[in-house]
């Protein structure tokens, strides 16, 4: 089942807009991730799809049928909440059976479906336990089993992994992904974690400041961010954003500072420009003080690579990922450079359409 | 060092070690030196004194008097053993009082809880102006027994009362609220429920508002009707509070006195002669302190038994 949003808007009173003009189509069987920082309205958007929060304007359709005025239960979907929303006084089995009982299904059908759902999430042995007797990961599985048992083809998940520790999060991530593929669910998944978004999504919607920033596949989002917000949101360590000015004499040249200039194979369309360079697209090498364009502030050794934090002579802070281990001293002069995968943004942060082939000179 | 008896008996080293540890643990818990003991008594003193004078002494005095005959000023005269109790339990009059009280207590408890749940459930909905209803529903908490009694006496008044006006207007037969035995019982029950309702409502409302909203949202998505949600989410979620309120209401109704005294004085024809009111009349009208004491002890046993039963039966259904 596909879901379409057309110009959806939400405000709580006439003044405070939460979401503006959201339009997107989620295809059948797609793993769709809505990602954004806290307070960007992503949970609100999910709740509006679920029907728990009314929308102010626009249209929500499921399979081309407008569902704006349908109550949650008529939308034939299921939802996994951040705190799992398990009924503390019911056993695991009864928790999973809750919706089926509420819809007055046949006893034998209920038993069959619940047993199957519990088996699918490997909880068959724990059916009699109460939620408080389970670990965080097991509770999460109960919530998943409930979604599975309901047999709805659309599943909404609101930060389902944020209460788990890092190890478990990776494990559950894989389980959720496998489950979604196995059942062919149309899954809309809300998270603030860019890694979750990148690893699971077929398509990602990046939400910030009430607006959709970009919708695309993980690789589109990473390699072709629509603006500097998206560029900064994805990738660790964060992308370097340097401000630059177009050279007054040659419009093919950008000056980051007096001693760093970038020559481009085409004219720069704006005077003030931001340059984005991913830390692993940069190089750093030891240099004497004449050749150098930066000094080392700090290094972090991560095993297979080292992050070098440095200050450019212009005063801007950058970080560079260097493979293996390097032994820079603090305040050691180094030379940093980049010659590919540069991104250019205008002063507002929107992506400028400039080819990536460029050179940075020291 | 304290010489423990375990050391002198031949045992394996392990069990000696265990016994020693056990003894040490006990010492840590219970041993107080002389100075500590002195302070302990000082701290306990005031409450022991108050409990002793106002609870323990009257309790044992009542027990004592119930085994004697008494004179008009309440002094024990002749020891009669259990015959006060035997007289009571073989008197049809007293047994009917027990029956009346039980009917009253169960009616009040069940109706109070049912109405309290209904009102609290209504008032827990998020609607504009719901605060006004919350205040109104809990307002009876601030009404004293005497005011409530007078207020309801007005309502039940056969010639000018609100209820009789309504029956006249709707051409219904008049109910002699306070002169018919059955009607009088219901009049007292209605008034008690009305008085209890404010407290019960407020406590239940508080419990309901602490149920996480995501549970209802999950249920909404799963397709549960609001009726299903009420019985399968709300009631089990607030079951500890329901348990508490039901015990409190039960005990309080057993002890009802003020309303009876002000509204019916146990009448008509003993129809509302509850156990507590009976004790009062026997002791302070008839001067039969011995019998009143025996009645008090029986009432205490009845309340204790019901509370115990309630714990046994309801605790299994309560989800803490």
**A/B interface, count of CB pairs below 8 Å:** 65
Q: Contact A89/B239, CB-based, under 8 Å?
A: yes
Q: What is the Cα–Cα distance from B199 to B113, expressed in whole angstroms?
A: 11
Do A317 and A176 sit in the same domain of this protein? Answer: no
Residues of chain A neighbouring B224 (CB-CB closer than 8 A)? 73, 98-99, 102-103
Alpha carbon dihedral B70, B75, B77, B78, in 10-degree steps, equals 60
Chain B interface, best mutation among A50, A79, A96, A130, by max B CB count within 10 A? A79
DSSP designation for B71 = -
* A227 and A261 assigned to the same domain: no
Residues B140, B218: contact at Cβ < 8 Å?
no
| Bridge partner residues of A35 (DSSP) | A191, A206
Judged by CB atoms closer than 8 Å, whether chains meet at B222 and A98 is answered as: yes
Q: Which of A165, A146, A307 is nearest to A240 (CA)?
A: A307
Burial label, B137 (beta-carbon count in 10 A; 0-12, 13-18, 19+): buried
- Distance, in Å, from the CA atom of B80 to the CA atom of B92, rounded to the nearest integer, reads 21
- Beta-bridged to residue A283, according to DSSP, are A337
Going residue by residue through chain B, which has 320 residues, state the pLDDT in tens, using 9 for 90 and above.
344 444 444 444 444 555 555 555 555 556 677 888 888 899 999 999 999 999 999 999 999 988 888 887 778 788 888 888 888 888 888 898 899 999 999 999 999 999 999 999 988 888 888 888 888 888 888 888 888 888 888 888 877 878 888 888 887 777 777 788 888 899 899 999 999 999 999 999 999 999 999 999 999 998 888 899 999 999 999 988 898 898 889 988 988 888 888 888 877 888 888 888 989 988 888 888 888 999 999 999 998 998 888 888 777 766 65
Q: Which two tokens stand for residue B153?
A: 């006496």
Of A232, A261, A294, which residue constitutes the final position of a domain? A232
Sequential DSSP letters for A120-136: HTT-GGGTTS-GGGS-H
User: What pLDDT sits at residue A40?
Assistant: 87
- Across the interface, whether the CB atoms of B222 and A89 are under 8 A apart is answered no
Please name every residue paired with A207 in a beta bridge, in sequence order, or none if there are none. Answer: A212
Statement to judge: residues A322 and A355 lie in one domain: yes
Query: Does residue B268 have a cis peptide bond before it, meaning omega lies within 30 degrees of 0?
Result: yes
* A348 shares a domain with A326: yes
Q: What is the DSSP letter of B56?
A: I
CB-based contact B249:B192 (threshold 8 Å): no
Please report the ipTM that was assigned to this predicted complex. Answer: 0.82
> Does residue A309 share a domain with residue A177?
no
Whether A87 sits inside 8 A of B222 (CB atoms) is no
Residues B263 and B188: beta-carbon distance below 8 Å? yes
**Rounded mean pLDDT of A82-106?**
90
Using an 8 Å CB-CB cutoff, list chain A residues near B217.
50, 52, 72, 79, 81, 85
Lowest-pLDDT choice from A179-183, A266-270, B38-42, B64-68: A266-270
Q: A329: which 2 tokens?
A: 């001293």
Contact B217 A52 (CB under 8 A): yes
Measured CA to CA, the distance from residue A24 to residue A4 in angstroms comes to 6
Distance from CA of B116 to the nearest CA of A (A): 22
Buried b (16+ CB within 10 A) or exposed e, A188-227: bbbbbebebbbebbebbbbbbebbbbbbbebeebbeebbb
User: Are A83 and B214 within 8 A, CB to CB?
Assistant: yes
What is the helix, strand, coil percentage profile of chain A, to 5? 25, 35, 40
Question: Which H helix or E strand runs over A329?
Answer: none
Please tell me which residue of chain A has the smallest CA distance to B224.
Answer: A102
Distance CA A44, CA A53 (A): 7
The verdict on A99 and A192 lying in the same domain is: yes
State CA B260 to chain mean position distance.
Answer: 16
Task: Kindly report the pTM of this predicted structure.
Answer: 0.77
How many degrees, rounded to 5, is the angle at CA B200 between CA B197 and CA B203? 145
pLDDT, tens only, A139-175: 988 998 998 898 888 999 999 888 888 888 888 899 8
Q: What is the pLDDT of residues A188-243, one digit of tens each?
A: 999 999 999 999 999 999 999 888 999 999 999 998 899 999 999 998 889 998 88
Mutate to test the interface with B, among A70, A77, A81, A96 (most CBs of B within 10 A): A81
CA–CA separation, B294 and B82 (whole Å):
9
pLDDT (tens digit per residue) in A281-337: 888 888 887 888 889 999 999 889 999 999 988 788 889 999 988 888 899 999 888
Determine, for residues B236 and A103 on separate chains, whether the beta-carbon distance falls below 8 Å.
Answer: no
Chain B residues whose CB is inside 8 A of the A98 CB are 219, 222, 224, 232
Strands laid side by side in the A272-277 sheet: A343-346, A272-277, A240-246, A253-257, A260-264, A358-361
Do A223 and A268 sit in the same domain of this protein?
no
Give CA–CA dist A76/A69, Å, rounded: 14
Full residue range of the structural domain in which residue A329 is found: 240-361
Q: What is the pLDDT of residue B23?
A: 55
8 A C-beta contact, residue A119 and residue A155 = no
Q: Note whether A201 and A277 are same-domain residues.
A: no
The last residue of one of the domains, among A195, A213, A232, is A232
Predicted pLDDT of residue B69: 85
Contacts of B219 in chain A (CB under 8 A): 98-99, 102
What CATH number did the domain enclosing A293 receive? 2.40.50.140
Chain B residue numbers with beta carbons less than 8 Å from the beta carbon of A146 are 218, 222
Classify A325 as helix, strand or coil. Answer: coil
Out of B217, B225, B237, whose CB is closest to A85? B217
CA distance A164 to A154: 24
CA–CA min distance B100, chain A (Å): 37
d(CA A321, nearest CA chain B) in Å: 43
Residues 6+ apart with CB under 8 A from A342: A262, A275, A276, A277, A281, A356, A358, A360
Q: How far is CA A223 from CA A208, A234, A342, B144, in A?
A: 19, 10, 10, 75
Out of A77, A88, A98, the one facing B319 most closely (by C-beta) is: A88
When scoring B207, B214, B221 by the number of chain A Cβ atoms within 10 A, the one with the most, hence best to mutate, is: B221
Query: Mind listing the domains of chain B with CATH numbers?
Result: 88-315 (1.10.3720.10)
Per-residue DSSP letters for A165-184? Answer: -HHHHHHHHHHHHHHHHHHT
CB contact under 8 A, A79 and B221: yes
DSSP A227: B
Is A320 found in the same domain as A210? Answer: no
Query: Are A261 and A221 members of one domain?
Result: no
Could A98 and B215 be called an inter-chain contact, meaning their C-beta atoms sit closer than 8 Å?
no
- A184, A213, A232 - which closes a domain: A232
CA dist., res. A159 & res. A192, Å (int): 8
A214: CB partners within 8 A, 6+ apart: A204, A205, A206, A221, A225, A226, A227, A230
| Number of domain units in chain A | 2
Cis omega (within 30 of 0) on the bond before A237? Answer: yes
Residue with tokens 């299903």: B228
Instruction: Give the CATH number of the domain where residue A85 resides.
Output: 3.40.50.300
Q: Using the beta-carbon criterion (under 8 Å), do A102 and B224 form an inter-chain contact?
A: yes
Contact residues on chain A for B215, CB-CB shorter than 8 A: 85, 87
Mutation target to probe the B interface, by most B beta carbons within 10 A, among A13, A87, A146, A157 is A87
pLDDT in tens, A19-54: 888 999 999 999 999 999 988 888 999 999 999 988
**Residue A29, class by beta-carbon neighbours within 10 Å (0-12 exposed, 13-18 middle, 19+ buried)?**
middle
Minimum distance, in Å, between the CA of residue B318 and any CA atom of chain A: 9
Give A329 to chain B, closest Cα distance, Å: 53
The conformation of residue B139, written as its DSSP 8-state character, comes to G
One domain for residues A214 and A346:
no
| Chain B residues near any Cβ of chain A (below 8 Å) | 212, 214-215, 217-225, 228, 232-233, 236-237, 239, 319
Residue B128: both structure tokens together? 């504009």
C-alpha distance from A23 to closest chain B C-alpha (Å)? 23
pLDDT over threshold 80, residue A70: yes
What are the b/e assignments for A325-355, b being 16+ CB within 10 Å? ebebeeebbbebbbeeebbbbbeebebeebe
Q: Are residues A267 and A341 both part of a single domain?
A: yes
């Amino acid at each position: 089942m596909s879901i379409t949003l057309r110009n959806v808007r939400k405000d709580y009173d006439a003044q405070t807009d939460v979401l503006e003009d959201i339009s997107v189509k989620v295809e059948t069987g797609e793993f769709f991730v809505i990602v954004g920082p806290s307070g960007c309205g992503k949970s609100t958007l999910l709740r509006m799809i679920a029907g728990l929060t009314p929308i102010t304007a626009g249209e929500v359709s499921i399979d081309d049928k407008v569902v704006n005025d349908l109550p949650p239960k008529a939308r034939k979907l299921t939802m996994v909440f951040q705190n799992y929303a398990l009924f503390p006084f019911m056993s695991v089995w009864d928790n999973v059976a809750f919706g089926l009982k509420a819809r007055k299904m046949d006893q034998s059908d209920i038993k069959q479906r619940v047993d199957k759902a519990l088996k699918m999430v490997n909880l068959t042995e724990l059916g009699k336990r109460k939620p408080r007797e389970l670990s965080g990961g097991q509770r999460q599985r109960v919530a998943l089993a409930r979604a599975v048992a309901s047999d709805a083809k659309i599943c909404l998940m609101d930060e389902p992994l944020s209460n788990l520790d890092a190890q478990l999060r990776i494990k559950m991530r894989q389980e959720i992904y496998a489950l979604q593929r196995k059942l062919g669910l149309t899954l809309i998944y809300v998270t603030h974690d860019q890694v979750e978004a990148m690893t699971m999504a077929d398509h990602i919607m990046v939400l910030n400041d009430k607006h959709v920033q970009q919708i695309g596949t993980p690789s589109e989002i990473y390699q072709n961010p629509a603006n500097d917000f998206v560029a900064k949101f994805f990738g660790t360590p964060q992308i370097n954003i340097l401000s630059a000015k177009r050279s007054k004499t040659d419009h093919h040249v950008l000056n980051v500072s007096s001693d760093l200039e970038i020559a481009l194979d085409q004219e720069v369309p704006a005077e003030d420009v931001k340059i984005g360079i991913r830390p692993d697209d940069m190089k750093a090498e030891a240099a004497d003080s004449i050749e150098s364009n930066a000094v080392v502030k700090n290094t972090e050794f991560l095993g297979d690579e080292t992050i070098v934090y440095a200050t450019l002579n212009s005063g801007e802070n950058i970080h560079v990922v260097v493979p293996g281990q390097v032994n820079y001293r603090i305040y050691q002069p180094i030379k940093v450079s980049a010659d590919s995968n540069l991104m250019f943004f205008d002063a507002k942060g929107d992506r400028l359409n400039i080819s990536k082939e460029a050179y940075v000179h020291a | 060092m304290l010489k423990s008896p375990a050391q002198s008996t031949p045992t394996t080293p392990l069990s000696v070690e265990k016994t020693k540890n056990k003894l040490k643990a006990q010492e840590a818990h219970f041993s107080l030196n002389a100075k500590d003991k002195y302070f302990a008594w000082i701290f306990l003193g005031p409450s022991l004194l108050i409990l002793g004078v106002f609870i323990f002494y009257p309790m044992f005095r009542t027990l004592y008097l119930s085994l004697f005959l008494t004179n008009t000023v309440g002094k024990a005269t002749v020891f009669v053993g259990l015959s006060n109790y035997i007289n009571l339990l073989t008197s049809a009059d007293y047994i009917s009082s027990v029956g009346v009280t039980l009917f009253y207590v169960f009616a009040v408890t069940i109706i109070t809880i049912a109405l309290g749940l209904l009102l609290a459930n209504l008032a827990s909905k998020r609607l504009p102006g719901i605060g006004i209803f919350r205040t109104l529903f809990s307002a009876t908490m601030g009404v004293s027994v005497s005011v409530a009694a007078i207020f309801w006496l007005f309502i039940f008044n056969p010639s000018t009362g609100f209820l009789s006006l309504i029956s006249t207007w709707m051409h219904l037969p008049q109910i002699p609220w306070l002169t018919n035995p059955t009607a009088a019982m219901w009049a007292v029950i209605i008034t008690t429920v009305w008085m209890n309702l404010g407290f019960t409502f407020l406590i239940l409302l508080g419990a309901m508002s602490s149920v996480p909203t995501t549970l209802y949202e999950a249920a909404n998505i799963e397709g549960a009707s609001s009726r299903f949600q009420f019985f399968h989410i709300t009631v089990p979620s607030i079951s500890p509070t329901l348990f508490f309120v039901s015990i409190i209401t039960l005990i309080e109704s057993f002890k009802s006195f003020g309303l009876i005294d002000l509204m019916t004085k146990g009448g008509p024809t003993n129809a509302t002669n509850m156990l507590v009111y009976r004790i009062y009349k026997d002791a302070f009208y008839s001067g039969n302190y011995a019998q009143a004491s025996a009645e008090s002890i029986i009432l205490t046993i009845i309340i204790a038994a019901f509370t115990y039963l309630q714990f046994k039966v309801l605790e299994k259904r309560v989800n803490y």
